[in-house]
A and B are shown apart, each in its own frame.
Chain A
């Protein structure tokens, strides 16, 4: 079946540091790939997405590129802020509208 694997956290960074969260997937066919963010006390929000190979999703300074050859969708941000502290989920959507989530990565950015 479909699955998503992402690096375990927590990831602790200083403000303005570079952030990478690795995500790899297993799926049949050609899934769409997503990153969701969950801020403390809030629901999941879509951060960015990519629907086909080599697409790059970007939002709020975050980027991720759909790499079919490595089945990866790593999330990056060049300079994190304290407000980026949250839990980040990588997810895929294959056939239909069901989302398969990775385990989540907690990111803590310290001033």
Chain B
């Protein structure tokens, strides 16, 4: 069974640029959540996708957007990058949206905005 994978591992961008981060969910999981973790903080929920639809959103501006594909993999897109967007971006998959299911996390993508 393949776990959650994310790409790229590290990324450096400059302010104002756009970035796309990718996540492959664990086999059999149809729900993907994205989190932003700033240094020294806990992860902050960005949004969740279930069957290709956004299913919940945290307190992030519209320049943070996402997609989920039929194979349940997902992308996180961030436009007009700001210095404060520098963080570890984590993706988590879970088998369904109902009930209290464990979320399986990927290794993360470290984004640095200069």
Task: Tell whether A and B belong to one assembly.
Answer: no
Q: Which residues of A contact B (CB under 8 A)?
A: none
Q: Which residues of B contact A (CB under 8 A)?
A: none
